[in-house]
A = this chain, B = another copy of it.
Amino acid sequence: MATVERLKELVEGVTARAGYSSSIGTRVLEVRRGEVTMALDRRSDLQQVHGQFHGGVIAGLADHAAGAAVTTAFPEGKFAVTVDLHVNFLAPALGDSLIARAKALRVGGTIGVSHVDVYSVCAGKEEICAVITATMRAVDFPGTEPARHFKI
């Protein structure tokens, strides 16, 4: 069974490889089996028209964190892809950064469910801005070639 260090390395590797996650500046803060915390900082290209973090960025960060939380709880060699994602936006995200805390609620051999709380952080103070649940399914861990053929 993978150690916590190996799990963190795995999550950081995927986060760095994935074009979108790295391009929006995702940082991996903490990784335990079934629990992952990620963050990203405010940039003008991540905002919507009111100056808040865009809902797509909140959804994308949560999705990525949820996938990591479930992947670390799946059998080794399996990787979580999202089947569905539900986001409740609770407050405008006007902070300097976002923190997503993802926790796997239930993980089986082929399906996992994760809950994510996303906080807007302003001057060090966290305010919850969204809650997310994601249903994930297991596929083989991505190799160096894109797996172009899987379907649900």
Whether A59 and B88, one on each chain, are in contact in the complex, defined by CB atoms closer than 8 angstroms, is no
* Chain A 35-55 per-residue mask, 1 if CB under 8 angstroms from chain B, else 0: 000000001111111111011
Task: Please state if A113 and B152 are interface contacts (CB–CB under 8 Å).
Answer: yes
Q: How far is the CA of A43 from the CA of B19 in the complex (A)?
A: 9
Name the B residues within 8 Å of A61 (CB-CB).
56
Assembly of this chain: how many copies? Answer: 4
Is A2 an interface residue, CB under 8 A from the partner? no
Contact with B along A10-54 (1 / 0, CB 8 A): 000010011111111000000000000000000111111111101
Residues of A within 8 A of B (CB): 14, 17-24, 43-52, 54-57, 59-61, 63-64, 81-92, 94, 105-108, 110-113, 115, 128, 131, 133, 135, 137, 142, 146-148, 150-152
A85 and B17 CA atoms in complex are apart in Å by 27
Instruction: Out of B19, B46, B112, B148, name the residue touching A48 (CB < 8 Å).
Output: B19
CB <8 Å contact, A137 and B151: no
A-side interface mostly: mixed
CB distance from A102 to the nearest CB of B (A): 14
Which residues from chain B contact A137 at a C-beta distance below 8 Å?
110-111
Task: Tell whether A46 pairs with B20 under 8 Å between CB atoms, given A88-B133, A90-B106, A152-B111.
Answer: yes
| The one of B59, B91, B133 that contacts A59, using a Cβ cutoff of 8 Å | B59
Q: Closest residue of chain B to A48, judged by CB? A: B18
